[in-house]
Structure formats: C-alpha cells, structure tokens
Amino acid sequence: MTSNAVPDIVVGRLPIYLRVLNHLIAEGRQITSSQELGDRLGISSAQIRKDLSHFGEFGKQGTGYNVAYLRDQLTEILNVDREWRMVLIGAGDLGHALVHYHRFAEHGFQIAAVFDNDADKIGHKLGEYDVHSIDDLENLVRLHQVEMAIIAVPVAAARDVATRLINLGIKAILCYAPVTLTVPLGVQVQYIDPVAQLQHMAYYQTVEAR
C-alpha cells in the first residue's frame, strides 16, 4: 500500500510507537508484542496491528516483534533516518525555549537559523544562534537547504511568514501561533496551541456534573 493511502491519523501514531520502542531498547528489551505496546500506550493491540499492517508485516504470531527491527523500520518509514534542517521564525520567549529544547537535535531536527523582525533582537545571540533579520529569510533558507520551519510569532505575522516559507518551497511547518493557516496541497502543517489543549481538558473537569 502506498504512503498516500495511509490515513493521517495512523501516521500520527507512528512516532508514539517509535518512542515506546526506544524506551524498550533503553530497558534492554529484544522482543515485544502488540499487547505490551498497547498496554503502555493505552491503545488496543488490534489497533496497533492494524496500523502497522499498512506498511508490511513486522512480527510473527506467537513470537511478537523484534524491538530493534521494528524501531528501525518505523524510523525509515517516518523518514527520520536522516537529518532535517529547519528554521525558527520568532526569537521571543517561546523561541528562546525552543532553541534550548535538546530533543530536536537528538532526533535529527537541526535548527539552521533563527529569525525575527525586532531590531532589538537582530544581531544578538539566542542560545548558540545569531538572530537574523526576517529580511534575510530567503537567502539563508536557500543557503542552508532548509526543508522545515517552526513559526513562533504573533498571530498577526503568522500568515505572512507562512506564505514566505511556502514560496521558498518549505513543505513542513510546525506552527505555535494560535491561527489556522491556509496552505497548498502537499504542505504539511502541525499546530501546537497549549491554550486550546487546556480548554479541551477543562471541558472534562465538570462534565460529570452536567
């Protein structure tokens, strides 16, 4: 089955499976089962087997999965067996936190450059990075052969920044701005909005009393 036929919700679960497999490897485990994976993740074993079946057969009935082999296969399927270079747009408080988030680099996602439009930030250091003017975005994206971007700017600027990135050929954007971007077919956008997630959880705090 081609990757285009795999439901996006299934692709979204693969990194969760990969994370648990890495934990098992760190524990020295060699074999696991869909039941164990499901117990650790709160997902049914049948769902895990169905998800993995989109990409091939990775285990044997009665034997389970070889942890290292399944980890390597999911790494390849997710295209994270290589380094991805990305830019960070926004050098504010959130940008400061993101450049110090070590798990990006640990998993092959390297920040190549940081940008802002604030004259008080441009030319100064943010962690190990020089903060560049947003006016230099086009030149540095091409220079560093960037393929991904993180948007950490206010809502008012997010759409314009996204348009510039897309015009440069960026097809993967992680957006922290609380806004929905309209993007062409083939461009992947993932949103991280802590307030929306808190609002989601707040609903359930009083749901039993309704």
Q: What is the pLDDT of residue 145?
A: 96
Report pLDDT digits (tens) over 143-163. Answer: 999 999 999 999 999 999 999
**What residue ranges define each of the domains in the chain, with the CATH number in brackets?**
3-77 (1.10.10.10), 84-196 (3.40.50.720)
Name the phi and psi angles at 90, rounded to 5. 120, 115
Residue ranges of the chain whose pLDDT lies below 50: 1-3
Q: Which long-range contacts (CB under 8 A, 24 or more apart) does 164-168 make?
A: 164/137, 164/138, 165/87, 165/89, 165/137, 165/141, 168/137, 168/138, 168/141, 168/142
Three-state DSSP at 184 gives coil
Confidence at residue 101, expressed as pLDDT on a 0 to 100 scale: 95
pLDDT at res. 63: 81
Strands 64-66 and 84-89: unpaired
**pLDDT for res 210:** 58
pTM of the predicted structure, to 2 decimals: 0.90
**75 neighbors 55 (Cβ within 8 angstroms):** no
40-55, pLDDT tens digit by residue?
999 999 999 999 999 9
- What is the distance between the terminal CA atoms of the chain, rounded to a whole angstrom? 45
Q: Would you tell me how many other CB atoms lie within 10 Å of the CB of residue 105?
A: 11
pLDDT at 5: 85
